[in-house]
Amino acid sequence: MGNSVVESRQAVVQRYVDILTDAGLKAVFGDQRNKDVLIDILNVILPPHRRVEDITYETTEIPGFTLFNKSVRFDLRCRGEDGRQFIVELQCYHQANFFRRCVLYASKAYDMGSQRGDGQVYDIPPVYFIGLLDKDLQDMQRYSPEDGIISEYTFREKSTMKVPDETIFTIFVELNRFTKTKEECETMLDKWCFALTHIGTLDRLPDELRTEAFERLFQACEIARFEPEVKLKYEKEMITERDYYNMLNTAKADGLAAGLAEGEAKGRAEGRNEEKIRIAKELKKNGIADNIIAATTGIPECQIATLE
């Protein structure tokens, strides 16, 4: 009994943050001291010709265009040395019209680039919206091709598939579809997907990931290394996030239970009605008057008249 209690306590001790939570994403990638880690992951997700050398962090909130438009708040927003904007969003729960929201967010960031006073020459830096997905989304089918987990959307000519200019790119990384073990990981993308998906449950850096990039990631994610104010903020946000997901799951469970109860009640009612109709048909077949059948079964007399 004593050993099981100790083992249970050890099981809940978490050494590294779970990146696939809003609190974990912001605690690690939102800390400017970990910008090298963010650059590492961006360069794995982005195509080779769009590599990032350096970034600066920017405000995560963009005000509305008018008094009647609400502001937009990103999980993470930064800018490359050449002016390109990078927005990183984490999606861990179902949301209707998620793709449209991503396009809206990227468009607003792109519009902010046009407000630099460029003399109307439209010298606007491109925007890359990167969505880390940890759940299947309701309003779209699978994003990525069958042989991968990354998909990219932008303006292309339909026939030639050529991109006339770099403007807005929406990139999805479907981590929820990643199923490889650490032994099966071959590419850097595989290894990053494994690390992002499992780091919250690990107690050390696996030998299969022992490179400088992953050493930086695991050091950045180690909760004991957090500055006191960062750790306090992370723990508070995790409590809020757990409460939120608990409320969602509870509401879903309650809704399912209510739906089952409603379905069972409806089924019983339909069964009773079918039995009444069967009895009414038998009585009608034996020459019983419609008004007597109505009084016996509770079926309206006008409906009995239509029974064969």
DSSP string, the chain: -HHHHHHHHHHH--SB--TTSHHHHHHHHTSGGGHHHHHHHHHHHS-GGG--S-EEE--SEE--SSTTSPPEE-SEEEEETTS-EEEEEEE-S--TTHHHHHHHHHHHHHHHHTTS--TTS-----EEEEEEE-S--TTS---S-TT-SEEEE----TTT---SS--EEEEEEEGGG----TTT--SHHHHHHHHHHHGGG-SS--GGG-SHHHHHHHHHHBGGGS-HHHHHHHHHHHHHHHHHHHHHHHHHHHHHHHHHHHHHHHHHHHHHHHHHHHHHHHHHHTT--HHHHHHHH---HHHHTT--
For residue 4, what pLDDT is reported?
Answer: 46
Section 195-216 average pLDDT: 93
pLDDT 10s digits, 264-276: 566 566 667 777 7
pLDDT over threshold 50, residue 7: no
Please, are residues 36 and 58 in contact by the beta-carbon 8 Å criterion? no
Distance (Å, whole) CA 212 – CA 209? 9
Report the chain's terminal Cα–Cα distance, integer Å: 71
Which residues partner with 132 through β-bridges?
Answer: 90, 173
State pTM to two decimals. 0.68
Tokens of 229: 């104010």
Residue 255: pLDDT band (50, 70, 90) is low
**For 147-158, what is each residue's pLDDT tens digit?**
678 888 999 999
Q: What are phi and psi of 152, to 5 degrees?
A: -130, 135
Output the CA–CA distances (angstroms, integers) from residue 186 to 51, 90, 181, in the order listed. Answer: 21, 25, 10
The model's pLDDT over 107-124, given as tens digits with 9 standing for 90+, comes to 888 887 766 555 567 788
At residue 206, the pLDDT reads 94
pLDDT at 69: 56
Residue 308 has pLDDT above 50, yes or no: yes
pLDDT of residue 122: 78
Do residues 304 and 290 lie in contact, with contact meaning Cβ atoms separated by under 8 Å? yes
Flag whether pLDDT at 216 surpasses 90: yes
Average pLDDT over residues 172-179: 88
Residue 306 is encoded by which pair of tokens? 């239509």
State how far the Cα of 127 lies from the Cα of 109, in Å rounded to an integer.
7
Q: What is the pLDDT of residues 233-254, one digit of tens each?
A: 888 888 876 665 566 567 666 6
Distance CA(252)–CA(242), nearest Å, equals 15
Domain ranges across the chain: 12-225, 227-308
pLDDT at 262: 60
pLDDT of 17-72, one tens digit each? 998 888 888 889 888 899 999 999 999 999 888 888 898 988 877 766 544 455 66
Distance CA 138, CA 130 (A): 19
**pLDDT band for position 261 (50/70/90)?**
low
Residue 133 pLDDT more than 90? no
Contact 191, 127 (CB under 8 A): no
Q: What angle do CA 52, 205, 190 make, to 5 degrees?
A: 50
Give the per-residue pLDDT at 191. 95
Question: Would the pLDDT of 302 be above 60?
Answer: yes
* Sheet order of strands, 150-153 included: 55-57, 76-80, 85-91, 127-133, 168-174, 150-153
pLDDT tens across 176-203, in order?
888 999 999 999 999 999 999 999 999 9
Q: Which long-range contacts (CB under 8 A, 24 or more apart) does 47-51 make?
A: 47/152, 50/84, 50/128
Q: What are phi and psi of 222, to 5 degrees?
A: -75, 115
